[in-house]
Amino acid sequence: MRIFILRASNTPDVKILSFCLNFLQRAFLIESGSKLENMSSVTSLVSRASNWSIKSRETNLIVHPLVKYDPCALDYIKVLKAAYFESPGKRSGFEREQTHSYHKSLLLTNSPLKHSRKLKLIGTLPPLPRNQDVPPLAFGKLTGRSILVATSHAWFYQSHPDPHGVKLNLLRNDFLPRLRQKYPYSEILIFDDWNSSPQWPRTKAEDKVFYKCMEHMNSIYCYCDVVIFLEAKLPELDNRIRFQNLVPSDFNFGTFVDVVQFHGPDSELLDIKKNDIIVNPANIEILRSTTKEIKISYLKRSFGRPNRILPTDRGWLFAERITSAIRVASAGKHRFDEIIWSNNEELRNQIYKWTSIFIEAADRGQVEDALNEYVDLNILIRSITLTRTFFLSRYKAELVTKRFTRPDDVHLVNELLESLVQKFSLNWEGECEKQNIMSDRAHEVLMLWGEFSDNYIKQARLLEPDCNLSLAKRVSSVGVR
């Protein structure tokens, strides 16, 4: 990698120092509170950044942190190549990459991005298929130079989280282009629950895989590189009541939570289709026992029962948000912007508040108390020591106030949060050290294959002779290896 050291007097230009600080903050994630008062402080920061050993660098770039700290996670959870999500229809993200000059060199290398050429035959139009139906070529292999992105978002319907591609478009038009700009020479892999773990309907074998995925879910959010919280308005519903004449006993019906649904078989002669919700008679026993033709009323629901619970009240989202806050607290506030991405600034502020509370508690030596009392901030702020049992009972009580489409999920989420609390409270220092190692790796990836890499600087022509000539006269390029 290359660092630019400015040849200046003992009282260099303020703009020059500002340039140095900005560069070092972005390149090495130096804390925002750092100050550069003179050139010796610049040299000090550069020296600190270059003190990583060659051995640790090589290790960090061979194995991704998720594989290093939870080797079995990817035996069950699948991650997808970003190219699968990037372009609509049969035009893949790889074809888009070729339009950028700094990506053309990938065709001549053994870069993992080169192999995404095959994705040009895979369509990515919404609704995206569930995990079991995703084309095998869309799945990627996580390596030390990969950037792993985990998503978190509210499902819109029972049978599909995003049938009309609202959140897919957020990824495609906003977040993925930003990730590509930041990491142009790294393979970006995506974890998304709909695509990454088996979904309904599941076989018994797929059920086993699903629950294994759940055992490793905390690791995804703790050891990924970026968490993207996608926020979108709940979709408008067609509430027009329709009617259908049929003999109910000739068809299948089922229940889901609080509704009765038509389960087929579908027929070209019938307007009612699978997943549509029965309005009247909304009694499954009556429907199954009625052997004569009747008129039933129903709501058109191609993707099943809509989930109208607000994101702030959802149990799964609560778990993913609090897990991310705990993770960032162990990494340090200076990494918040690097890890937590969202199109909802209010949500980011909430996660940042939780992060701050955990850090303050760690400074007071009350990590376990904070992790168990994380929701009730007023009580947490009081510097009191209570038993683990008391705190566990309080966060369980808070979790009960959250809502789940599937009521049984509360037990699953409760187990995940208990495991998270135990993991960080018993080994806070160890988890902080893991995050420090991950931070070093993130810096290396950024410098070797990201927007600070030599290739990127060359292809983007950031060092053209006629560019910032007055500044260039005062800059010399010094290799740091």
Q: What 8-state DSSP symbol labels residue 71? A: T
Q: Taking 70 as the threshold, does the pLDDT of residue 314 lie above it?
A: yes
How far apart (Å, rounded) are the C-alpha atoms in residues 79 and 15? Answer: 43
Tokens at 371, concatenated: 């992790």
How far apart (Å, rounded) are the C-alpha atoms in residues 219 and 214? Answer: 10
CA-closest candidate to residue 150, choices 78, 71, 56: 78
Tokens at 402, concatenated: 């959250």
> In the prediction, which pLDDT does 93 show?
38
Q: Taking 50 as the threshold, does the pLDDT of residue 107 lie above it?
A: no
CA-closest candidate to residue 224, choices 159, 314, 151: 151
Mean pLDDT over each residue of the chain, to the nearest integer = 78
Residues 392-409: pLDDT tens digits?
Answer: 444 555 555 666 666 677
Percent share of the chain, pLDDT over 90: 53
CB 219 within 8 A of CB 82: no
Beta-strand relationship, 252-256 and 241-246: unpaired
3-state secondary structure of 173: helix
Per-range mean pLDDT, top range of 118-122, 145-149, 354-358: 145-149
Residue 479: alpha-carbon gap to chain centroid: 34
How far apart (Å, rounded) are the C-alpha atoms in residues 319 and 19? Answer: 39
How far apart (Å, rounded) are the C-alpha atoms in residues 24 and 7? Answer: 16
CA-closest candidate to residue 141, choices 181, 105, 188, 108: 188
> In the prediction, which pLDDT does 469 show?
39
How far apart (Å, rounded) are the C-alpha atoms in residues 298 and 287? Answer: 13
- Which pLDDT band holds residue 124 (cuts at 50, 70, 90)? confident
Percent share of the chain, pLDDT over 70: 66
Global confidence as pTM: 0.77
Q: Taking 60 as the threshold, does the pLDDT of residue 61 lie above it?
A: yes
Residue 440: alpha-carbon gap to chain centroid: 20
Tokens at 376, concatenated: 């009730």
How far apart (Å, rounded) are the C-alpha atoms in residues 289 and 285? Answer: 6
Residue 191: alpha-carbon gap to chain centroid: 6
CB 81 within 8 A of CB 138: yes
> In the prediction, which pLDDT does 125 show?
87
